[in-house]
């Protein structure tokens, strides 16, 4: 049986019932290793996560590595250790830099605050205000108000389940990781999915990854961050993996 490792994004692990990438590998009968990166079981550093994954593999062959959003900062490091594996990067970048300047500023400001006062303040944000801000920064002509509300609520609920100390680890990793060098070093066959309307992991940074990885292909759709890969893209993976 072929094996795939999937690194999810923030703030939560993929829903097995909703995730098109999980469904794709389940349908194709892969053994799926998908750690909950934000659980207490993992120390959220690149070295510790990769060590945990290697233990989970138990010397089994690794065929595919998938990195989604934040998980895309981890995936190249595992792929480099398994050069025969294929690498799938979805809505991610070589380093963290959104198209929202105030968001970038606040993230880099908060990483230096040991008390994480801003995070604690954001936890007091009412759901209605979170929905409004989410819609403002994720504008799309194709989403209904109900879609916006559902996605905002998923992020709201996910973010609130992450312990404050784990958010500190996430801030440390995303602000200090620049994968430009490791991307130049990997030889894995790679496919990159980017969203032209993605403000969180902008398509231009996916283009930068494409230029850094020797054996890579870039697919750009006109989608938002949480819809960069959908079931309509299965045919790209059929061609890429077979």
pLDDT tens digits along 98-153: 998 888 888 887 877 777 776 676 666 777 667 777 676 666 666 677 766 776 76
User: In which element (H, E) is residue 32 found?
Assistant: strand 31-33
Whole-number pLDDT of residue 195? 94
3-state helix, strand, coil in the chain (%, to 5): 50, 15, 40
Report the Cα–Cα distance between both ends of the chain, in Å, rounded: 14
| pLDDT more than 90, % of the chain | 52
Question: What is the rounded CA–CA span in Å between residue 176 and residue 235?
Answer: 35
| Residue-level pLDDT at 104 | 84
All residue ranges of the chain with pLDDT < 50 are: none
- Which residues are CB-neighbours of 141 under 8 A, at least 6 positions away? none
Q: How many CA atoms, within 13 angstroms, populate the side-chain half-sphere of residue 118?
A: 14
Contacts of 130 (CB under 8 A, 6+ apart): 152, 155, 156
| Alpha carbon distance 11, 161 (integer Å) | 8
> What are the extents of the domains in the chain?
3-97+178-241, 101-171
- Any residues with CB less than 8 A from the CB of 228 and at least 6 apart, and which? 90, 91, 193, 194, 195, 198, 221
CATH of domain 3-97+178-241: 3.40.50.1820
pLDDT of residue 80: 96
Q: Would you give the distance in Å from CA 117 to the centre of its chain?
A: 25
């Amino acid at each position: 049986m072929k094996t795939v490792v999937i690194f999810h994004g923030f703030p939560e692990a993929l829903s097995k019932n909703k995730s098109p990438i999980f469904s794709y590998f389940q349908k194709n009968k892969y053994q799926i290793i998908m750690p909950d990166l934000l659980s207490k079981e993992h120390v959220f550093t690149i070295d510790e996560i990769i060590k945990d994954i290697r233990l989970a593999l138990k010397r089994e062959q690794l065929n595919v590595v998938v990195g989604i959003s934040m998980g895309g900062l981890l995936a190249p490091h595992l792929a480099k250790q398994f050069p025969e594996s294929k690498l799938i990067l979805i809505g991610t970048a070589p380093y963290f830099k959104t198209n929202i300047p105030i968001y970038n500023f606040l993230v880099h400001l908060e990483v230096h605050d040991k008390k994480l006062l801003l995070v604690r303040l954001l936890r007091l944000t009412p759901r209605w205000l979170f929905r409004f801000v989410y819609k403002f920064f994720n504008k799309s002509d194709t989403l209904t108000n109900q879609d916006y509300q559902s996605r905002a609520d998923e992020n709201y609920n996910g973010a609130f389940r992450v312990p404050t100390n784990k958010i500190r680890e996430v801030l440390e990793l995303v602000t200090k990781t620049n994968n430009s060098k490791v991307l130049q070093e990997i030889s894995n066959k790679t496919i990159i999915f980017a969203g032209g309307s993605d403000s969180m992991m902008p398509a231009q940074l996916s283009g930068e990854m494409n230029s850094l990885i020797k054996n890579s292909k870039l697919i750009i759709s006109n989608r938002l961050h949480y819809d960069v890969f959908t079931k309509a893209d299965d045919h790209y993976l059929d061609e890429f993996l077979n």
